[in-house]
Amino acid sequence: MAPRASTSQLRMNRCYSWATNGIPAPQGSKRHVGNGRMVESSKALKPWRQQIIADAKQLQINDPLDTPVGVTLVFCFPRPKHHFSKNGTLKATAPKHKITRPDLDKLTRGVLDSLVLAGVIKDDSLVYSVSAYKRYCTASEQPGVLITVIDSSDLPFRP
């Protein structure tokens, strides 16, 4: 029989998960405003990023993760009014998937940078795996993003 590690020898992997409510904003291109200054094109990004940071700080993370991390992001958007019939039911022709703007990669970029600013991870280069989805909210959901960050340094398998 192989020896088993005692509880004191096992390191618990850290996992953080939370929801941030609001309309997700993409981190798009930057534009030049003179004197070498670049500013974000999206005016919605700053308040969105501030909300993610505020929600992450409620987790009271003392030390940012400085190990390989996996991140899962589920973006939830409200359905446009034209997806519904006059009696409020979802039309049969309403699309199942959210395949309109904003682009998923730009949404992801904005969240990953926010995780660094919030002190959840030391640097976004530590993210080796991202699973990101965008979808429409159900009737009982608010728009926003569900964020899960997993310290993967001691996991036996990394995809």
Q: What would the mean pLDDT of 56-85 be, rounded to a whole number?
A: 96
Q: What is the DSSP letter of 58?
A: T
Instruction: Give the largest CA-CA distance in the chain.
Output: 70
How far apart (Å, rounded) are the C-alpha atoms in residues 59 and 54? 9
Top-level class of domain 13-28+40-151: alpha beta
Percent of the chain with pLDDT over 90: 75
Average pLDDT for the chain: 88
Domain boundaries, the chain: 13-28+40-151
**pLDDT: which is higher, 28 or 157:** 28
How far apart (Å, rounded) are the C-alpha atoms in residues 123 and 88? 45
Q: What would the mean pLDDT of 116-144 be, rounded to a whole number?
A: 96
- pTM (predicted TM-score): 0.86
Q: Over 70: is that where the pLDDT of 158 sits?
A: no
Q: What would the mean pLDDT of 77-99 be, rounded to a whole number?
A: 96
Q: Over 70: is that where the pLDDT of 5 sits?
A: no
**What per-residue confidence (pLDDT) applies to 33?**
74
Q: In what order do the strands lie in the sheet with 69-77?
A: 15-21, 144-151, 69-77, 127-136
State the pLDDT confidence band at 159, using cuts at 50, 70 and 90: low
Each residue of 49-60: pLDDT tens digit?
A: 999 999 999 999
